Structure 1
């Protein structure tokens, strides 16, 4: 229970610190840059996921076609 309390206090402290930093123009710019980097990272991960999904779908379709040919 003590660990949960520390976690919640740390989380709340982080939000308060981010709010205070965001009020300063330099801090706002720094947080905007961090946000842009996170967005770029998540976009790249999403693109890689969709590429892998398309590759697996292609393999599954070719296996399905091969199974259908063998069944006929």
Structure 2
């Protein structure tokens, strides 16, 4: 239970700190840049996942016998 309290306090402290940093123009710029990098990373990961899923679907379709 004690670890859960520290975990929740850590998350709340992080949000408060991020809010305070976002108020400063330089901090806002840093957070905006960080958000753009995270968005780019998640977009690339999503694209790679969809490409791999399409390749695996093609392999499964080629291997699966058809009922004629």
The structure that has the greater radius of gyration is 1
- Deviation of residue 60 (structure 1)? 1.1
Q: Deviations over 1:22-71 (max 9, x none)?
A: 0000000000000000001000100110010000010111112xx23xx6
Q: How many pairs are equivalent?
A: 68
Which residue is 1:29 aligned to?
Answer: 29
Q: Distance in 2 between matches of 1:43 and 1:20?
A: 28
**Structure with the larger helix share:** 1
- Taking only aligned residues, the RMSD between alpha carbons, in angstroms, comes to 1.1
Q: Distance in 2 between matches of 1:37 and 1:50?
A: 20
Matched, 1:43 2:47: no
Structure 1: 5+ residue runs without aligned partners? none
Structure 2: 5+ residue runs without aligned partners? none
